[in-house]
Amino acid sequence: MAQDNVRIAMIGYAFMGAAHSQAWRNVHRFFDLAADPEMAVVVGRDGAKAAAAAERLGWRESATDWREVIQRDDIDAVDICTPGDTHAEIAIAALAAGKHVLCEKPLANSVEEAERMAAAAAAARAQGVRSMVGFSYRRVPAVALMRRLVAEGAIGEIRHIRGQYLQDWITDPEFPLVWRLRKDVAGSGALGDIGAHVLDMAQFVTGQSINGLAAQTETFIKNRPLPEGDGALGAATAGSGAETGEVTVDDAAVLIARTDGGALATFEATRFATGRKNHIVLEVNGSAGSLVFEFEDMNGLRYYDAAAGDRAGFTRIDVTEPTHPYIDAWWPPGHGLGYEHTFVNQSRDFLHAIASGEDPSPSFEEGAAIQRLLAAVERSAEQNAGWTSI
């Protein structure tokens, strides 16, 4: 790049667009970067709403045609925050135009789309163009520390992995049929929306890949009122009439799995766990100890050291020390981070990869691997929990 900054175009401005925008606004204020982000343009289908989003979120300008924007010489990177049905088209076109790409998870709505995106990313990489998937929970310092401790052998040989991601925002049968409940737009339901996160976290932390699984899924409410509003998460309301539409995604998914390292694993993802708002738990049991991460205590990590004998017990590690991942850029010890900081940390890693010429992680190839897992869950559920090799 001839200029010092990375000039960014963000496609989409709803829930994830707002989270990404605050990251772009703040990342250079905390991290020492070789190239700062420049919030050039936000893109949306509705011109008035896109302009309002630009004003609210801090973008220099707005536009309605993403195809025109990715061809502009004053854009270096494209941040994709749209529903899954548009990811492949936008990402492949942006990579072909020589733009670095950050794409929200899940990477695509199908394995075929994800593999085409990974192939496009591989071709672009040869030209120095970088791409990354937005699995933001990898950037929680406690999760990154959990990965480090596993790699250092702190819990020995991994025997069990169990992950949960529980929400309850659609338990009301009158909640409207927003885009996240339509397979043609979202790809899948709880499985791809939140299950993808915990599947990625488990493999990221352990360094092991899932190579087989058996699963079941369920859609508890088959039809919902058609929405009024823009269809964003939590933004739409049910129409006043009685017209309804079919829910075409899963509400919940459960699975057992094995890894290539010999561990047994269990996972659960649901948007019907009444009382649970964003409950994420990842526990790893090993021959020498255990580690537990809970998002509701996101600045802590619980560690059990079996070598402690009759003094053994789960110890809470306060993950706020400057020696812990990402923390040296933030506050003094004891001053915790929040959900929004994961996106700042993610932006830091993406910008660092661009400036250093290194390949960021998770790559599009890693995103495609998660897509294959999601597809395997669906196949297994269709076979009534039949074992499916990956």
Q: What is the CATH number of the domain that holds 286?
A: 3.30.360.10
Nearest to 225 by CA among 178, 270, 185, 186: 178
What's the pLDDT score for residue 3? 54
**Cα separation, 51 vs 289, whole angstroms:** 53
Q: Which of 338, 22, 16, 44 is closest to 193 using CA atoms?
A: 16
Is there a contact between 228 and 174 (Cβ–Cβ < 8 Å)?
Answer: no
DSSP alpha helices (H): ranges in the chain? Answer: 15-30, 47-57, 66-69, 87-96, 111-125, 141-151, 183-186, 190, 196-206, 339-356, 364-382
Distance CA(42)–CA(9), nearest Å, equals: 6
Residues, the chain: 390
CA-based nearest residue to 57, from 29, 30, 27, 19: 19
Domain count, the chain: 2
pLDDT at 230: 45
pLDDT reported for residue 238: 58
Residues 88 and 155 in one domain: no
pLDDT value of residue 286: 98
Domain CATH number, residue 105: 3.40.50.720
Q: Are residues 174 and 94 in the same domain?
A: no
pLDDT in tens, 20-70: 999 999 999 999 999 999 999 999 999 999 999 999 999 999 999 999 999
Model confidence at 235: pLDDT above 90: no
Does one domain contain both 132 and 200? no
Cβ atoms of residues 295 and 302 within 8 Å: no
The tokens of 355 are what?
A: 């400036």
In a domain, 348, yes or no: no
Q: Each residue of 180-231: pLDDT tens digit? A: 999 999 999 999 999 999 999 999 999 999 999 999 999 999 999 999 854 4
pLDDT at res. 228: 81
Q: Are residues 206 and 242 in the same domain?
A: yes
Q: Is residue 86 part of a domain?
A: yes
User: Of 97, 115, 137, which marks where a domain is finished?
Assistant: 137
Average pLDDT over residues 137-160: 98
pLDDT in tens, 318-353: 999 999 999 999 999 999 999 999 999 999 999 999
Residues 160 and 126 reside in one and the same domain: no
Cα–Cα dist 302/206, whole Å? 16
**Same domain, yes or no: 100 and 154:** no
Give the confidence band of 236 by pLDDT, cuts at 50, 70, 90: low
pLDDT band at 2, cuts 50/70/90? very low
pLDDT-based confidence at residue 4 (cuts at 50, 70, 90): confident
pLDDT of 115 > 60? The answer is yes
Does 161 share its domain with 263?
A: yes
What is the domain range of residue 163?
A: 141-297+299-337+370-389
124/177 same-domain check:
no
Residues 204 and 279 in one domain: yes
Residue 172 placed within a domain: yes
Measured distance CA(183)–CA(304) in Å, rounded: 41
pTM listed for this prediction: 0.95
> Do 26 and 98 fall within a single domain?
yes
CA 50 from chain centre, in angstroms, equals 24
pLDDT recorded at residue 231: 42
Q: Is 307 contained in some domain?
A: yes
Q: Is the residue at 355 inside a domain?
A: no
Quote the mean pLDDT of the chain.
95
pLDDT digits (tens, 9 = 90+) for 360-369: 999 999 999 9
Q: Are residues 146 and 131 in the same domain?
A: no
Amino acid 1: pLDDT? 40
Tokens of 26: 């703040």
Residue 388's pLDDT band, with cuts at 50, 70 and 90, is very high
